[in-house]
Amino acid sequence: MMEADLKAQAATAMGLLCGISRASLPLEFIDLALRTIQETDSAIRPQVQPDAAVQRLTSSHSLAFATREVAELELSVEAAITVVSRWLDPKVDGLQGLPANAWRVQSDELVAAVANAGEMLEAAAMHWYYASGVLDVIVTCWFNHIPLNVREAWVQDARTSLASARDRLSDAHASVSKACAAATGARDAGKIILDLL
């Protein structure tokens, strides 16, 4: 492929990085998932059948949507960096100074942040569905005269899982925000390099 074509593709990839830097949907869905967890936790009491809490968890698709958005973000990041690197790597020995170093650091940080966000969402989903399962057991066994101390232990188990899910979602939110900032840094450094070369 000709040099001009590679450079044109790299310029297009910079536009993709611009879009990544403004990615708001993953953050919005993560915020919705965090709100669902807060509402669910508030609805759980050992003396009250937690069918409303189960309904909140099972009817919310925010975590699934957040996971999908981050997976798409990861694909976009991979595509953008691959395209830019195809043009940039043959010139890497001749690149010196701040823009080249900034591109390397920011693009590496972008890849790591998006990957971490995906991992945190997977972990959040595990805790989310475990809590949902425990609450469902409580609902199913509600009229089986389960002792209150057992029910309280189950409720605590569900709450612990919800807290873990909340923590992982918060980590994912921070990672997506970090990825957006890194995408901005990578795009700015890449545009400078494009102008120089």
Helix ranges (H only) for 48-97 are 51-59, 62-88
- Give the per-residue pLDDT at 92: 63
Cα 178 from Cα 27, distance rounded (Å): 11
- pLDDT means per 10 residues, the chain with 197 residues, are 81 92 96 96 86 89 97 96 86 67 92 98 97 92 83 92 98 98 94 84
Would you state the pLDDT for residue 151?
A: 87
Phi-psi map region of 2: left, alpha, beta (phi>0 left; psi -120 to 50 alpha): beta
pLDDT of residue 96: 65
Predicted pLDDT of residue 80: 94
Integer CA distances (angstroms), 82 to 6, 107, 136, 169, in order = 11, 10, 45, 28
Closest by CA to 191, choosing from 112, 113, 106, 122, is: 106
Mapped onto helix, strand or coil, the DSSP state of residue 48 is strand
What distance separates the 2 farthest-apart alpha carbons in the chain?
Answer: 76
For 115, the domain range is 3-196
Q: How many domains are there within the chain?
A: 1
CB atoms under 10 Å from CB of 193, counted, come to 21
